Amino acid sequence: MFEVLPALPADPILGLSAAFKEDTNPKKIDLGVGVYKDENGNTPILESVIKAQRLLLDSETTKTYIAPQGVAGFLTGMKALLFGASHPAVTEDRITAVQTPGGTGALRLLAELIARGNPDATVWVSDPTWANHIPIFETAGLRIEKYPYFDKASRGIRFDAMMETLNSVKKNDIVLLHGCCHNPTGQDLNQTQWQAVLEAAQKTGFIPFIDVAYQGFGDGLDEDAYGIRLLSENLPEMILSASCSKNFGLYRERTGMACVVTNSNATRQSLQTQIQSVARANYSMPPSWGAAIVDIILNDEQLKALWQSEVTDMRTRMKSLRAMLVQKLKDKGASMDFDFVNSQKGMFSFLCISPEQVKKMRADSAVYFVDSSRVNIAGISQSNVDDLAEALVKIL
C-alpha cells in the first residue's frame, strides 16, 4: 500500500546540513540550522544544565510516567518566566498549561486545540515565518493566510501593510506572532507596534498566538516578554507556545510548554481537560528529563542566576558577532550597507540577498545558508568572519 506515497524532497534546512557535512572544503561555513554555537563551532551543554543534571541523577528514584500535564515546578517556573510571577493571569490561576515535546509539540497541540474550538478558524502567519509553522497548522486541518511582515527592499517591517491586514481579520481567527527574535528575519516589533497589535485584537476580536522560541536572546529575559505580557494583560484570551531548546540549550530533550490564557479559572479548568485529551491522543505522556532540569534551574536561586548569566553570554556574543560581520563588510568595501544586521535580534539575520546569490556563495565559497538569505548568526566566529565577509563582498 505504501508504494503509492511518493518520496518527498529533502527539508530545505535539514537537507542543507547534509550537504554541508559532505562538503570537503576545509574552509566551509555552516550558517544553516538554528542551533547556538560557541567560538569553536560547538554546542556545549550549559553549566547550569550540567549541575541540574547531576542533582537529578542523584535524586531521581523512578521512571514511571509523570503527570499528564507535566512537571509541576517546570510549569510554574515557565509561567513566571514568560508572564512574570505577579501577572494577574498567573495569580488568578487563569493559564491552562501543559508540558510538551519541544516548542514544535506545543504548536501542534495548540493547533489541534484551536481546530476543536473553532474548526473554521484561519491562522494568520507573518510573511515570511518559520518554515515549519505552515505545515504544523495545515496538518491540524487549519487554513493559513499570510499577513505582510518583512520588506527586503527597505530591510524593515512593513508595519502599515501588516496592520491593514490585522485590522480586517475576523473575530476568533488566530494571529501568530513571534514573541521575540523573529525567525527568519530577526526583525522584531517595538513597544509602540505591540500596542497597535493589541488595539487591533481589541477591535476585531482575533486571538493572538505568540510563539516564543528565543526568550533572552533579543534584549533580555524580561524585555523579550514585553509583547506576551502586554497582550495577555489586556485581552481575555491569548495562546502561547514556548520552547526551551535554545535558551536552555535542551534541543534534543524536547522541552516546551503550551499555554492558553483564559478569562476565568473555571474556563482554565475545563480547557485543561481538553488540552490534556489532545496530548493523550498524540503521545500520551510528556517526557521527563528536560522539564525536570528546567524545574531544578528555575526553582534554585543560584542555578537560576547561573543560567541567566549564561543566557546573557549567548546574547552578548551574538550581538558582537553581528557587529563584527558588519564592520568586516565595511572594511572590505562591500557595495551594500549591512548596518541593518545590527538592529536585528536573536539568532537569525536576513542578509537580503537573492536566492541566486545565496546559491553562488555555497558553490564558490562553501558558505551554507538557506535560500531566503537567513543566516544563523551564532555560526559566525573570529576564525571564519573574514572568509564570510569576503565571500559576501564577492557575490554582491
Residues that bind ligand PLP (CB under 6 A): 34, 102-104, 130, 178, 183, 211, 213, 243, 245, 256
Q: DSSP H helical segments within the chain, as ranges?
A: 12-22, 47-59, 72-83, 88-91, 102-117, 133-139, 159-166, 191-204, 226-234, 265-282, 289-298, 301-331, 340-343, 355-365, 385-395
The single residue of 28, 30, 130, 173 carrying the catalytic annotation is 130
Q: For residues 32 and 366, which CB has a smaller minimum distance to ligand PLP in the complex?
A: 32
Give yes or no: 188 in active site. no
Give yes or no: 246 in active site. yes
Does residue 211 sit in helix, strand or coil? strand
Q: For residues 34 and 249, which CB has a smaller minimum distance to ligand PLP in the complex?
A: 34
Q: For residues 132 and 167, which CB has a smaller minimum distance to ligand PLP in the complex?
A: 132
In the complex, the smallest distance separating the C-beta of residue 46 from ligand PLP, rounded to whole angstroms, is 15
In the complex, the smallest distance separating the C-beta of residue 260 from ligand PLP, rounded to whole angstroms, is 17
In angstroms and rounded to an integer, the radius of gyration of the C-alpha atoms of the chain is 21
The single residue of 246, 307, 328, 345 carrying the catalytic annotation is 246
- What is the β-pairing status of strands 238-243 and 256-261? antiparallel
Check if the beta carbon of residue 379 is closer than 8 Å to that of residue 30: yes
In the complex, the smallest distance separating the C-beta of residue 293 from ligand PLP, rounded to whole angstroms, is 14
As given in the structure block, the three cell numbers for residue 365 are 565559497
Check if the beta carbon of residue 182 is closer than 8 Å to that of residue 372: no
Q: For residues 183 and 365, which CB has a smaller minimum distance to ligand PLP in the complex?
A: 183
In angstroms, rounded to a whole number, what is the distance separating the alpha carbons of residues 226 and 158?
20
In the complex, the smallest distance separating the C-beta of residue 347 from ligand PLP, rounded to whole angstroms, is 8
Q: Which helix (H) or strand (E) holds 202?
A: helix 191-204
Give yes or no: 289 in active site. no
Q: Annotated catalytic sites, by residue?
A: 130, 211, 246
